[in-house]
Amino acid sequence: MQKENVTTVISESEFVSLMAAAKQNDHSALLRIIDLYKPDIEELSRFIYLPYEDTASEIIVEFLEFIHNEELENGRNGN
């Protein structure tokens, strides 16, 4: 049986709102963003020769660091 490809689609304004909330350490927003990217994380994890859990965790940690570092960079630039 073929695996069904299910993706969640949200509007750009909803995504921007989620990112803004995530930058303010809103845990539910962070979890929602991770859920949105979960299919991509799973796909990328297939190509890295480590256990899935380790790979997925590393990708998620890097993504969370990116969100928080982006906030710092924007703050330094006066945005």
- How do residues 10-40 score in pLDDT, each as one tens digit? 899 998 899 899 888 899 999 999 999 999 9
Sequence spans of domains, the chain: 12-76
| 57: pLDDT strictly greater than 50 | yes
How much is the average pLDDT of 61-78? 72
| 47: pLDDT strictly greater than 70 | yes
d(C-alpha 48, C-alpha 51), whole Å: 8
How much is the average pLDDT of 49-68? 90
How many percent of the chain have pLDDT more than 70?
A: 80
**How far separated are the first and last CA of the chain, in Å rounded?**
50
Any idea which of 19-28, 46-55, 65-74 has the lowest mean pLDDT?
65-74
